[in-house]
Structure 1
Amino acid sequence: MNCKSCNIEVISKFCPNCGQKAQLERINGHYIKYEIQHLFHFEKGFFYTIRELLLRPGQSVRTFLTENRSKYMKPITFIIVTSLIYTLVNQYFNIDGQYENLKLQKTEIIQKWMQDHVGYSNILLGVLIAFFVKLFFRKYNYNFYEILILLCYIMGVGMLIFTVFALLQELIHFDLLGISSFSVIAYTTFAIADFFERTKPANYVKILFAYILGSLLFSILVVFFKIFI
């Protein structure tokens, strides 16, 4: 028979040209379960990545960069999935509505887009923070893209930390916004320091400056685009 995708003759279970299966199995519960597992990499990547980033963030990212990438969820996918989890929890419990000073104005185009696309907003913020991290840690042999991978993983964990505190807040009915924000900043600082050299106190200061400057530049760009639009 010929492949239904590229019309090349198929003599085995898979097309030798495009890899398409010769006979597609029927859609059933097993197929749906496999697709969900594959999406979140439950079978090997998602929970393993979270565990490693919590226990040994610097070492795990270095391992991904230089040794083994098969065990970890891909960084861009990781930050988008974790941001999606946070967004779903946020919308379900209406967390933004509980903080009027942080509530995004839905009439403003940029802020509405940020609210609806937390994952992409985090990637943009990560790019800006990575720029300053690269600037302050330029003596280390890591390029900008490798540092961006580091930021994607770290900010993804940050989204999960926000999610856990949001769920806890819903259970105990107590304002945990300040504690969750401090926890995310503390984890981010420690994780980046662990990636470079966590024994040097000066590194923590540089990381805080990089985080503040990146966040400040992100806010300036948001204001600029609001004015432009």
Structure 2
Amino acid sequence: MNCKNCNAEVNSRFCPDCGQPTSLKRIDGHYILHEIEHVLHFERGILYTIRELVVNPGQNIRNYFSENRSRLIKPIIFIIITSLIYSLITSFFHIEEGYVKFEGEEIKSTTPVRIFKWIQAHYGYANIIIGLFITLWLKLFFRNSSYNMFELLILLCFVMGVGMLIFALFSLLQGLTKINLMSIGGIVGVGYCSWAIGNFFGKEKIFNYIKAFFAYILGFATFTFTAILLGFLIDAVVKH
């Protein structure tokens, strides 16, 4: 028979070219439990990834680039899952302001408001876009490093993913205690991101942490400014 995935000839249970099984098991309760177990497994799962990124983010991410890409969960999936966890907690406890309050009296145009509402409703995708802006500043501040833009973006997916979990934790505590803790969570989250990025570029140099902090802040500010400017430009084009 031929493989249903790559059409190669198959004489065993698995395709010799792509590894696809010749027959797939029916999806049942055992399959669902196995998938959940696979994601949460402490080895090569999200819990293991979180632990490694909290304990030694720089070394583990460098290892992901150059040695082993199976130990940590995929970075894009990681930031989307962690952003979803944050969104679910803030939605459950009706914490409207989020870790950054985008809407306000200073934004009068309808389109910028809609843009920021989309961001608040899609943190997973928005964080990847924000990461692109932070990446530009990291490339500028650490221009002597050998890492390219794509590697820096993957770095930010890991780091910002843990940052989202920190925001989620403080959201949970705020929801349970009714005490406003989001501002503290924001400080801790930004502090972790700055520390983790600096640790990645070299934990011995204090200046790396300073550059990481300003790259993060400037990247976030540049993203916010660009989103507002885009909204005003769209409104101007529509009106004319």
TM-score (norm 2): 0.84
1:174–1:22 Cα change, 3 Å: same
Deviations 1:69-105 (A, max 9, x none): 1110111111111101111111111111589x92658
Residue among 185, 209, 222 paired with 2:227:
222
Q: What is the RMSD of the two structures over their aligned residues, measured on CA atoms?
A: 2.6
d(CA) in 2 for partners of 1:134, 1:111: 26
| Aligned length, in residue pairs | 228
Contact 1:104 1:115 in 2 (8 A): no
Contact 2:43 2:71 in 1 (8 A): no
1:29–1:143 Cα change, 3 Å: same
d(CA) in 2 for partners of 1:143, 1:98: 31
d(CA) in 1 for partners of 2:130, 2:24: 42
Residue among 102, 123, 144 paired with 1:118:
123
1:188 is aligned to: 193
d(CA) in 1 for partners of 2:39, 2:206: 40
In structure 2, what residue type is equivalent to 1:180?
A: G
d(CA) in 1 for partners of 2:205, 2:11: 61
Matched, 1:173 2:172: no
Could you tell me how far 1:31 is from its partner in structure 2?
Answer: 1.2
Contact 1:41 1:73 in 2 (8 A): no
1:187–1:20 Cα change, 3 Å: closer
d(CA) in 1 for partners of 2:145, 2:3: 50
Alignment of 1:48-87 (within 5 A): 48-87=48-87
TM-score (norm 1): 0.87
Contact 2:102 2:116 in 1 (8 A): no
SS in structure 2 of the partner of residue 196 of structure 1: helix
d(CA) in 2 for partners of 1:163, 1:200: 30
In structure 2, what residue type is equivalent to 1:74?
A: K
SS in structure 2 of the partner of residue 96 of structure 1: coil
d(CA) in 2 for partners of 1:5, 1:45: 26
Alignment of 1:144-183 (within 5 A): 144-183=149-188
2:22 is aligned to: 22
Contact 1:37 1:43 in 2 (8 A): no
Contact 2:2 2:10 in 1 (8 A): yes
SS in structure 1 of the partner of residue 72 of structure 2: coil
d(CA) in 2 for partners of 1:18, 1:145: 26
d(CA) in 1 for partners of 2:129, 2:8: 43
2:238 is aligned to: none
2:91 is aligned to: 91
Percent of residue pairs identical: 50
Deviations 1:101-126 (A, max 9, x none): 92658983211211221011101111
Q: Give the gaps of 5 or more residues in structure 2.
A: 105-109, 235-240
d(CA) in 2 for partners of 1:222, 1:179: 25
1:207 is aligned to: 212
Q: Which region of structure 1 is more displaced relative to structure 2, 83-92 or 24-33?
A: 24-33
Could you tell me how far 1:154 is from its partner in structure 2?
Answer: 0.6
In structure 2, what residue type is equivalent to 1:102?
A: K
Could you tell me how far 1:22 is from its partner in structure 2?
Answer: 3.2
In structure 1, what residue type is equivalent to 2:130?
A: L
d(CA) in 2 for partners of 1:151, 1:210: 11
Q: Which region of structure 1 is more displaced relative to structure 2, 16-25 or 79-88?
A: 16-25
Deviations 1:161-218 (A, max 9, x none): 0011111112222110111011011111111111112332322322222112111110
